[in-house]
Amino acid sequence: MRSHLLNDRTAGTYRRTVTAGVEHIAARLAHADRPFTGITPPALAPVVDAVDLDLPLGDAAAALEELDRLYLRDAVYFHHPRYLAHLNCPVVIPAVLGEAVLSAVNSSLDTWDQSAGGTLIERRLIDWTAARIGLGPAADGVFTSGGTQSNLHALLLAREEACDGVRKQHGAGLRTAEILPRLRILASAHGHFSVRKAALLLGLGEEAVIEVPCDAERRMRPAALAAALAQVQRDDLVPMAVVATAGTTDFGSVDPLPQIAGLCAGYGVWLHVDAAYGCGLLVSGRRRHLLSGIERADSVTVDFHKSFFQPVSSSAVLVRDRATLRHATYHAEYLNPERMAAEQIPNQVDKSLQTTRRFDALKLWLTLRVMGADGVGALFDEVCDLAGAGWRLLDEDPRFEVVARPQLSTLVFRYAPGSTAGAAGVAGTGADPALADPALADPALIDAANLHARAQLAASGAAMVAGTKVDGRHYLKFTLLNPETTTEDLAAVLDLIAEHAAAYTGESLVPDVPAVPTR
């Protein structure tokens, strides 16, 4: 069995095995004619369950062949131009090279004596990102598993800072358990669900999260935030943090950060900006201004595996004041004793919620060294441009309603031919009341038609789109992160959606509806 260990004597076997695997994957990628096969759980589960894990195949080639049947054949391929569903990006080759390197060397980024140069590379990338944000010379941070962990980490720091503030004001003897019931987090109504999850994990309960209303563009309303902060103060509660979003999951909306930052400064409240999606703006050549105000944040979440075209996972949390990271610090004699900090030995575990941690920073490092920040930013600008073109397609197509003009690269819409009654705040569509089908005036029927269209599209494997709810109604969503996707792809998928939805409602497809000029 030692022949399977990767070391100096098996380097040749490693080379041959991995090369064969890479060739197999490359062939799959090259011949993927659709993003998904449409396989269902009942069809695939018995195939996986039939594998006897106590009876090894003994051969990597045989295992790879089996894996093809279990996974690769039916995998969802994000690189396909008609994968339009979730915040999954196609990945750049330098980052995949980094993945191969970090897996083989297998550094753990918790302590210097397990990673050495890896620690310095991660720290350099944190400094680079903090400088791009504009957090200042005292900034710091650490890579994480993703946006959910980054948000949890930031809110942990905010919680501890808020507790320290209460103790300074009301007495150092106050226990944390006495303070927690008074803490409140104020977050956008369209913010990420991980904020509520973090509140639960931090002992606050979901009820500690106050939802701040948004405008028609799904951005937090500063006036509503001001009113909420004032109410918290009147109720003798403690505003622990305000969570602003730079790129909401559904709409790609960027909250008005300068006004929010001003309110946080006035109330002395921790400002966290969740830029998991919108962090691509940090390298954008034409849209960086959308992040104006982010430099005033106390903490920021970035997900490089969304808009920097990195393989999962590659995320980070950054803070304005590195001293606040002490709230996540624990010292273990066997790993990172306190004396190491005094000796200035850089142990990343000192500021991380994780102990053992992959060298995910390497992927971004190689990407920047090969492509440059401007190259990554150009790709992100391309998908944002595509979203703008997609919005125009939808706005001019009387078969669809589109909710909001995108700031980033998502489009929320639904099949509703001729309908003039959409979600509240729907940006003007090209619908003509004279074309409305009375049968489709029933909102439940429209909902069902859109759900059916999405399911049928996935079952066919021809394209993948996401779904969401807006004001209680079902909508579809394009999440555009692939620069290879074209407006022709979007138009073709819209035709498929309309075909499936019309078949469900029984609507005739005769050419009563005027052709869309852009087709």
Strands 473-479 and 410-415: antiparallel
Report residue 310 as tokens.
């990195």
Structural contact between residues 465 and 476, judged by C-beta atoms closer than 8 angstroms: yes
Task: Provide the terminal-to-terminal Cα distance of the chain, rounded to the nearest Å.
Answer: 61
Count of C-beta atoms within a 10 Å radius of residue 74: 17
Give backbone dihedrals phi and psi of 317, rounded to 5 degrees, phi first: -120, 135
Could you tell me the mean pLDDT of each successive run of 10 residues in the chain, 519 residues long? 93 96 96 96 97 96 96 97 98 98 97 97 98 98 98 98 94 91 96 97 96 96 98 97 98 98 98 98 98 98 98 97 97 95 94 97 98 98 98 97 96 87 42 49 91 97 97 97 98 98 74 48
Cα–Cα distance measured from residue 488 to residue 389, given in angstroms and rounded to the nearest whole number = 10
Cα–Cα distance measured from residue 63 to residue 210, given in angstroms and rounded to the nearest whole number = 51
CA dihedral 308→217→516→385, nearest 10 degrees, is -20
Cα–Cα distance measured from residue 6 to residue 104, given in angstroms and rounded to the nearest whole number = 8
Cα–Cα distance measured from residue 120 to residue 99, given in angstroms and rounded to the nearest whole number = 18
Provide the β-strand partners of residue 185: 209, 241
Report residue 136 as tokens.
């200042």
What pTM did the predictor assign? 0.93
- DSSP state for residue 355 in the 8-state scheme: S
Q: 3-12 burial, b for 16+ CB within 10 Å, e for fewer? A: eeeeeeeeee
Residues making up the chain, counted from first to last: 519
- DSSP state for residue 75 in the 8-state scheme: -
Report residue 312 as tokens.
């999962």
Cα–Cα distance measured from residue 37 to residue 55, given in angstroms and rounded to the nearest whole number = 29
Cα–Cα distance measured from residue 475 to residue 497, given in angstroms and rounded to the nearest whole number = 12
Which residue from 349, 362, 393, 319 is spatially nearest to 157, judged by alpha carbons? Answer: 319
Which residue from 77, 68, 65 is spatially nearest to 37, judged by alpha carbons? Answer: 77
Cα–Cα distance measured from residue 30 to residue 26, given in angstroms and rounded to the nearest whole number = 6
CA distances from 438 to 19, 501, 502, 512 (A): 60, 16, 14, 15
449, amino acid identity: A
Which strand ranges, in their side-by-side order, compose the sheet holding 183-188? 140-144, 315-319, 299-303, 270-275, 238-245, 183-188, 209-212
Report residue 50 as tokens.
């039939």
- DSSP state for residue 213 in the 8-state scheme: P
Cα–Cα distance measured from residue 30 to residue 24, given in angstroms and rounded to the nearest whole number = 10
Give the three-class secondary structure for 157: helix
